[in-house]
Structure 1
Amino acid sequence: MENSILTTVVLPISLAIIMLGMGLSLTINDFKRVFKHPKAALLGLTNQMIVLPIIGFSMALLFDLDPVLAVGLMLIAACPGGATSNLITHVAKGDIALSISLTAITSIATVFTIPIILSFALNYFMNETGTNIELPIGETMLQITGITIVPVTIGMLIKHYKQDFALKMEKSMRIASTVIFVAVLLGIIMANKEIIVDSFKQIGLVALGLNLATMAVGYFSARGFKLDLKQSISITIESGIQNGTLAIVVALSILGRLELTVPAVVYSLTMFFTAGFLMWYFGRRKD
């Protein structure tokens, strides 16, 4: 999937607007609660940083993937959730503060873990050693701050000083978030339909299996540790929604290999459809 105005400009701006809407429903106490009772956060981090790459590696072996596709699958499994997971959590009525906290922590942590996992995958599947992989730490942190932290903070400030306005806007922003999400997804699909069709033939089933497996692990581990439904929804989404854009950037800009983007493209689109189901199923409840 090639970078375009849609993916490099429209998508980040859309996500920033969505994050602003999320901030309207949050207070500082929501984030204090996450760190005061860290069980949910620790479980989410374990699932995303350790369990997900292990499942990705197992799927590559189980389906005997072509080495290039196997490395690409490991790359997407090593990526953090990204702001998209926060949007999906918001519409699905999960614990937004937990989702944002997990996204922020994993986005910083994976700057260090992606090179390790990717170096292992290149060596194991393609017998390539000594590949120098360095992710731009400053640029990654700036992107996280600009798209997530800043707009969420603005939304929280609006809620603090204009609570009545925030309450009125909360439902409208949730609907707008869904519309923006669908519109951007359809735009990306239409702009890349040829490569998408070919990519699904190569790895569609594996990508779907990885996505469903990671979400299932997220949900049932959360319920097994007796977390509430909102926390379970957040961990389910954070476990299965990966930052496909980051995977594509790493494959193209750092490794210079277009073929490694195929699993990221397929997984990104697959997770949008499964996430759409979660948004519909959990988002319609009236608790």
Structure 2
Amino acid sequence: MTASPLVTLFLPLALGIIMLGLGLSLTLADFARVVKFPKPVLVGLGCQILLLPLVCFLLAKGFQLEAALAVGMMLLAASPGGTSANLYSHLAHGDVALNITLTAVNSVIAVLTMPLIVNLSLAHFMSGDQAIPLQFAKVLQVFAIVLGPVAIGMFLRSRFPGFAARMEKPVKIISALFLLLIIVLAVAKDWRTFVDYAPVVGLAALAFNLISLAVGYFVPRLFRLSQRQAVAIGMEIGIHNGTLAIALALSPMLLNNPTMAIPAAIYSIIMFFTAAGFGWWVNRAHGRELAAGA
């Protein structure tokens, strides 16, 4: 597949705007909160970084996904939580401050863990002539593409809080439109593969999404975290940054494989419906707890 100028220019620009929007919503206090409340952050990161890649690997093997699709699933599992998790957590009475902190910390950690997980996945699922490992230079590119705009957004918020507050909503709207365009681009670039594999990949993505939400909610409850914290972690883990996974899969500078983008594209559609259902369920549970305590 040859890289078109549209893909070469559009993907870094789209991802940059999306990550800039993330930066506009973050402050240094979001990172400092880890020191004050380490337990929920460590539980959330443990689920995200350790449990989910293992679950995703078992699902990819269980569904017998084609090699590029299996790597795409692992790329999705390695992606940090999406910014939409904050909104869903708020609607479901979750701890939004914890969501913001997890997003901030995991976005930094993912720059290191994503290349590691992708390289291991390429080595396992793809033959030597197919594998395109993410080498150190490409890791630096991921670092610049992901964290550069976040740092700019955080700087703007710290120096020009009024401007950042006014821009946060428009940037979120633009980010949502870019997400839609990236999904359309991912599907259009490999339409035949999408049609052939959508049913099985859709089932694998749905299973991974539901398990992610369950792990994110029930594991914190096992560690005796509060209902609000468990809801926040569930949303953070269940709503992955599919945009980042798609951009890395499609980027000519990185993986340059549209088939690897298909799982994230399907997941990005599924997760909004399942997250809404999860939010409705925990809201009912929250209501029952309040009624029992009255």
* TM-score of the pair, normalised by structure 2: 0.71
- Stretches of structure 1 lacking an aligned partner (at least 5 in a row): 160-164
Identify the residue that residue 125 of structure 2 maps to in structure 1. Answer: 121
CA change 1:279–1:216 in 2 (3 A) is: closer
Q: Please, what is the CA RMSD of the aligned residues? A: 3.9
What's the CA shift string for 1:114-142, capped at 9, x where partnerless?
A: 312332233xxxx5589461242222222
Identify the residue that residue 146 of structure 1 maps to in structure 2. Answer: 148
Distance 2:109 2:257 in 1: 28
Distance 1:54 1:9 in 2: 32
Answer whether contact 2:16 2:145 (CA < 8 A) is retained. Answer: no
Instruction: Choose the corresponding residue for 2:89, options 76, 89, 92.
Output: 92
2:270 maps to amino acid: T
Distance 1:154 1:252 in 2: 27
Q: 2:133 aligned with 1:133, yes or no?
A: yes
In percent, how many aligned pairs have the same letter? 28
Q: 2:109 aligned with 1:111, yes or no?
A: no
What's the CA shift string for 1:59-111, capped at 9, x where partnerless?
A: 1233233444333323322x2216xx134325633221232112212223333
1:47 maps to amino acid: C
1:44 maps to amino acid: G
Displacement of 1:35: 2.5
Displacement of 1:203: 1.4
CA change 1:60–1:235 in 2 (3 A) is: same
What's the CA shift string for 1:22-70, capped at 9, x where partnerless?
A: 14xx5x4443221233222222222122211111122123323344433
Identify the residue that residue 70 of structure 1 maps to in structure 2. Answer: 70
What secondary structure does 1:183 align onto? helix
Displacement of 1:156: 3.6
CA change 1:11–1:272 in 2 (3 A) is: farther
Distance 2:279 2:172 in 1: 9
- Stretches of structure 2 lacking an aligned partner (at least 5 in a row): 1-5, 91-95, 287-294
Distance 1:107 1:114 in 2: 11
CA change 1:98–1:68 in 2 (3 A) is: closer
Identify the residue that residue 50 of structure 1 maps to in structure 2. Answer: 50
Distance 1:189 1:155 in 2: 29
CA change 1:210–1:88 in 2 (3 A) is: same
CA change 1:175–1:274 in 2 (3 A) is: farther
What secondary structure does 1:3 align onto? helix
CA change 1:10–1:264 in 2 (3 A) is: closer
Identify the residue that residue 162 of structure 1 maps to in structure 2. Answer: none
What secondary structure does 1:92 align onto? helix
Answer whether contact 1:6 1:187 (CA < 8 A) is retained. Answer: no
CA change 1:130–1:7 in 2 (3 A) is: closer
What secondary structure does 1:64 align onto? coil
Answer whether contact 1:219 1:232 (CA < 8 A) is retained. Answer: yes
Identify the residue that residue 155 of structure 1 maps to in structure 2. Answer: 157
Distance 1:62 1:132 in 2: 24
Identify the residue that residue 237 of structure 1 maps to in structure 2. Answer: 235
2:16 maps to amino acid: P
1:143 maps to amino acid: I
CA change 1:92–1:213 in 2 (3 A) is: same
What's the CA shift string for 1:157-216, capped at 9, x where partnerless?
A: 445xxxxx59xx86x777556644543344445556653962533411211111111121
Answer whether contact 1:19 1:87 (CA < 8 A) is retained. Answer: no
Identify the residue that residue 223 of structure 2 maps to in structure 1. Answer: 225
Identify the residue that residue 12 of structure 1 maps to in structure 2. Answer: 16
Distance 1:221 1:206 in 2: 21
CA change 1:4–1:240 in 2 (3 A) is: farther
The aligned length equals 265
CA change 1:212–1:142 in 2 (3 A) is: same
Distance 2:56 2:258 in 1: 20
Distance 2:229 2:167 in 1: 21
Answer whether contact 2:21 2:172 (CA < 8 A) is retained. Answer: no
